[in-house]
Structure 1
């Protein structure tokens, strides 16, 4: 895999030894909508409460998710019947976009006035065209317990004015390949 994305043997050793990464996860066929859909489906608290969702927020680190006129967030809203939800994206905050989206959801709900209102925060992205369609996965080692980061992973969080419930992250089309 290292050769596929142009890494030298020295760079491969660096990823394995210092970053604890010796595998990559590939998802060649899934779309952003597929990733977000899988994350929302893994959130059982949403079932039966779709009418209560007032805000649908998509947190991502890149400003553009799909070419115009496609809008995966609007497609997600339609697919799950979130007809009362205002859908928008939180971006330009790098890795902190998800944290900002959860904070923003809480603030919106606090100002909403409806104690039964919910916000749904989804986070995930697909690489832009022309970038490698892979990402590192941590090696299994008892001395290193690092969470994996993945451009193929999407997470959904449902927030109410009093609590947030989150799925444990779902990866559509996951396959793992050694370097």
Structure 2
């Protein structure tokens, strides 16, 4: 179907509480030597974490800021909540319509995407854009979608990915439409490897297998997305990654045969891995620092346990709304 998805406004939000990873050792059952490995090898240092904080308190502020870019007289047709963990609210409460109603978007359809884990935020935009293309002829033109991310590290069980990451809290929101003035999505590629569907419950042998395919597969997905966008890897200004850790990205960089500075890793020690929010938090960090250049292509890339590998190529428009 025709119609290019364009990212009109991306916003993010972080809890104010900064926590050193050392301070989480007791909660996560980690020895001092294991904390040392996370710091020296995986590149982690501190993260944002607010025990007892509410889900809506986290996700609504960036969503409201993103909605400020909604042109007067236009409407939001879809609110999609992208998250990593399956259960984020008590039984009987559906987070997506709660978010929609709290934002006053009562006429929008609300649903969640989470089966792609940390890739769900990009996947949610791709899915919703396809729905918006199918809507042409059924709805009045000019509708928007709002993708919202953010989840609390409410349990040690979901805050620690052994030998990989310590999860942090953040939220992000992306207002998008079809054929708008914002950043156009040039391509989106994802691949699912069901053999790793057990996620945190994988056996040691399966974890080793996942580790062996991780960098080559993510590099290949990035290359495919870049090729589908009609580009060469050298033409990409930056890879905007998830913040799983630095050593995994060093392996991916080696597979891609690109300069290390072509992948933005500054937020790994500052923020750690924030579930589905990373790539959009990193986008706003770069944008606010003036590091995103109008007309230049960027790759958003992430991996979700389960296991999904995803990459989205966008071109920075430089419009005020974006």
Match of 2:149 in 1: 123
Q: CA RMSD in A?
A: 2.8
1:161 and 2:187 aligned? no
Match of 2:300 in 1: none
Q: Distance in 2 between matches of 1:111 and 1:151?
A: 36
CA contact (8 A) 1:55 1:119 kept: yes
CA contact (8 A) 1:124 1:151 kept: no
CA contact (8 A) 2:158 2:167 kept: no
Alignment of 1:94-109 (within 5 A): 94-109=117-132
Q: C-alpha offsets along residues 2-28 of structure 1, whole Å, 9 cap, x if unaligned?
A: 234221122111111111112232212
Alignment of 1:67-146 (within 5 A): 67-113=90-136, 114-128=140-154, 130-131=155-156
Structure 1 residue runs of 4+, over 6 Å off? 132-135
Q: Distance in 1 between matches of 2:144 and 2:71?
A: 12
Gaps of 5+ in 2: 1-22, 184-279, 286-322
Q: Distance in 1 between matches of 2:176 and 2:53?
A: 27
C-alpha deviation, 1:158, in angstroms: 0.7
CA contact (8 A) 1:33 1:73 kept: no
Q: Hey, which of these two has a bigger chunk of helix by percent?
A: 2
Q: Distance in 2 between matches of 1:88 and 1:94?
A: 15
Q: Distance in 1 between matches of 2:71 and 2:91?
A: 30
C-alpha deviation, 1:30, in angstroms: 2.0
Q: Distance in 2 between matches of 1:47 and 1:72?
A: 26
Q: Name the TM-score, length of structure 2 as normaliser.
A: 0.43
Q: Name the TM-score, length of structure 1 as normaliser.
A: 0.74
C-alpha deviation, 1:101, in angstroms: 0.2
Q: Distance in 1 between matches of 2:123 and 2:176?
A: 13
Q: Distance in 1 between matches of 2:99 and 2:27?
A: 33
C-alpha deviation, 1:117, in angstroms: 0.6
